[in-house]
Amino acid sequence: MDDSRRRAFERALSHWSEVFVFARQLVRDPGLSEDLAQEAYLRLHASDAPLDDDRPVRTLLFTIVRNLVRSRARKRFEGPLGGDEDEFASDARSPEEIAHAREDGAVVRDVLAQMRPSWRAALYLADGLDCSYAEIATCLGASEDTVRTTLYRARAHLRSVLARGTSRHGRGDT
Amino acid sequence: MKDDEFSDLDLGAIRWSLREHFDSERRAAPPVPRRLHSIAAANSPRRTRRFGVGLATGCLAAASLIVALSLRQRADASPAAALGRAAANYLSLDDATLRIEIESVALAFMTALSESENADTRSNFETMVFFVDVARPDRFVIRRENESKPGIALAGCDGSKLWSFDAGAGRAQVLDLGDDVDPPEFDLTRWLSFEFVSQIEKEAGRGRLVEVARSDQENGAGGLRRFRVEPREGVGSTSPFHWSGATLTVDAPTDTIVDARITLQVGPLRFAEARVEIVARNSGFDPRHFSVEANVPESTRIVELAIHEPTFAAESSQDVDEAVADEPFAIVLARTGMRFSELESVLRRNLISTSTAYGLKVVSVAPESPAARAGILPGDILMKWNAQPVRSTRELSDWLDDRAAPASVPVEVARRKRVSLLSRKPWIDVSLTLTPEPRR
């Protein structure tokens, strides 16, 4: 590893928490998310992919995480039949019950926990990190149109739950 | 579909809530693992070099040693650097795929060697097995066994030392690779490509279905869509390796969002991906079809086309059940609990032997399933079903659907014996009885 590549890898480490949280959107289990994030860095280190400004390293790491998750999902797909694993576990309550029971912050968390991982990941990239549609599309391996659609649906879903919550609490729904 | 459709609840508030949430998740992130810090500080290219160059030099050197042991082979110029990059590409594959790929490539290589040695020995060729430590692909063992020669030839690499053993001649050699060993002058790519590529060429030329992709639908219903790969008219007919584009005909409603990619296997060890751009959408006479086109550089040698799922694999087993309910492999999975390797045709051709070019490799067996109760194990190769050679999952699903089929079916599997490298019969035949789940 030459100096410039090593420095690039050190810079990449500054994105650790972002990569970890991205992994958390795809697999809810924190331990697994940490493993995936670490594996992404190891693969980045072992690869000969250029680490320069032309290809932002954060996007590269997100893409590696996404591929790792997809590999896992494919293995699950090929694996034994059975119920869902914990990593995609969702809250059994209805969105209405969640909205009724909690304040907005907790509602957001619970609604996200119920969402499809791809929606969560898109929301995280768009609203958590302000990524462009093009960047999100690269990270998720989808087209920009798909990203727009996904974001719209995810936000609409979140909005509907929040709206039901505020309505029941008599706040702001006039 | 615009953001301004959010009129009753401010989009800004939603985004603010989300940002708060994600920021809190980031604050709760664990610290950077010490291992990563030490990697950054180590300034060591060891892992990379040894993975890529180790595999390349290891394969090359092992190839040469085997050749020296048992074959008279001429040497060609070595594309060692290209092989190093190719090996590095494996980093993007998951372990299971990596293992299958390495097995396929290595076995194809052995086949090529065997065939090049002497046409008469082809029919005598018995077994060839490649053992690889998936976590360390520069560690491997190749075993070659030929009825026409006494004994067994073995060659292996443990990352730093390359060794070979010829049981027939009673010779053993150890070569220390060291750090600066030059790769032997041997065109492994050519040998690797020989069988493997020709096999895939046939598959690609027929435009067979290589994978089923799931489309992204409203509410995540996840309906199954079948993708068919066809060579573009006038292009694929001359050479399936030089498609400047491939048209995919997609059975899907026009309101379905399709986002697929094509994986190009551009060499025995190399993969590349091309995005599939939607270039036309016929909404007039037959709304079920539209075309997508893959922009593939003309110089690319396409070995295999595979379409991946648009975003992620199914997110729950329920999704899988719904998505694949009418697929042959789903029928087989549901009725027997077995799932077979995607690369079954390549493995079938190479893993078993040229005289028994059939069988499906079992990659998973569901617990408590009929296959599990029958004693079938992952890694077995299902050879016969009710005394008939098993050639495809579709055929198997047809047999399962046959109302005249007996409730319990005799099956034969080939099972790899464990550990014993020196065994003359690494595969054993096992006869079992399987009682499929009744039709739903």
Nearest CA-CA distance, residue B72 and chain A, Å? 36
Q: How many CA atoms lie within 13 A of B327 on its CB side?
A: 19
Q: Which one is predicted more confidently, B433 or B90? A: B433
Q: Give residue A21's pLDDT band: very low, low, confident or very high (50, 70, 90).
A: very high
- SS3 at position A68: helix
Is the full-model pTM beyond 0.80?
no
Q: What is the pLDDT of residue B167?
A: 46
Closest partner CB to A75 (pick from B18, B94, B317): B94
**Shortest alpha-carbon distance between residue A1 and chain B (Å):** 5
Q: Round to the nearest angstrom and report the end-to-end CA distance of chain A.
A: 61
At residue B378, does pLDDT exceed 70? yes
Are the beta carbons of B92 and A67 separated by less than 8 Å? yes
Over residues B375-390, mean pLDDT? 86
Q: Among all residues of chain A, which has the CA nearest to that of B367?
A: A80
Give the residue from B248, B247, B241 showing the smallest Cα distance to B267: B241
Least confident of A22-31, A96-105, B6-15, B110-119: B110-119
pLDDT for res B10:
59
State yes or no: pLDDT of B427 exceeds 60. Answer: yes
The closest CB to that of A145, out of B29, B257, B369, belongs to B257
Phi, psi (rounded to 5 degrees) for B346: -65, -45
Beta strands in B200-345 (DSSP E): 213-214, 224-225, 227-231, 245-251, 261-265, 271-281, 289-295, 305-307, 338-340
In sequence order, the 6+-apart residues with CB closer than 8 A to the CB of A100 are A164, A165, A168
Q: Which residues of A touch B52 (CB under 8 A)?
A: 48
What is the per-residue pLDDT for B128?
43
* Cβ-based contacts of A71 with chain B (< 8 Å): 93-94, 97
Please give the average per-residue pLDDT across A27-37, as a whole number.
84
Q: Determine, for residues B36 and A127 on separate chains, whether the beta-carbon distance falls below 8 Å.
A: no
Inform me whether the pLDDT recorded for A165 exceeds 50: yes
C-alpha gyration radius of chain B: 25
What confidence category does residue B375 fall into, taking pLDDT thresholds of 50, 70 and 90? Answer: very high
What pLDDT, in 10s, does the model give residues A79-126?
333 333 333 333 444 555 544 545 556 778 888 888 888 888 999 998
Instruction: List b or e across A34-61, with b for residues whose CB sees 16 or more CB atoms inside 10 angstroms.
Output: bebbbebbbbbbbbeeebeeeebbbbbb
| pLDDT tier, B195 (very low <50, low <70, confident <90, very high otherwise) | very low
Higher pLDDT, B97 or A52: A52
Task: Tally A–B CB contacts below 8 A.
Answer: 189
Of A125-134, B70-79, B177-186, which range is least confident?
A: B70-79
pLDDT, tens digit, for every residue of B101-144?
444 444 444 444 444 444 333 333 334 444 443 344 444 555 55
The residue among A21, A66, A160 with the most chain B CBs within 10 A of its CB, best to mutate, is: A21
Per-residue confidence (pLDDT) for residue B402, from 0 to 100: 82
Per-residue CA distances from B233 to A5, B195, B205, B248, B266 (Å): 45, 27, 12, 12, 22
Q: Residue B346: how many CB atoms within 10 A of its CB?
A: 24
Q: How does residue B431 score in pLDDT terms, banded at 50, 70 and 90? A: very high
Residue A15 has pLDDT above 70, yes or no: yes
Q: What average pLDDT does the structure give for chain A? A: 73
Cα–chain-centroid distance for residue B134?
Answer: 14
Kindly provide the ipTM of the predicted complex, given to two decimals. 0.79
The token duo for B122 is 């082809």
pLDDT value at position A69?
81
Distance CA B278, CA A133 (A): 18
Average pLDDT in the B318-327 region?
Answer: 43
- In this prediction, residues B397-404 reach a mean pLDDT of 84
Q: Are B395 and B360 in contact (CB under 8 A)?
A: no
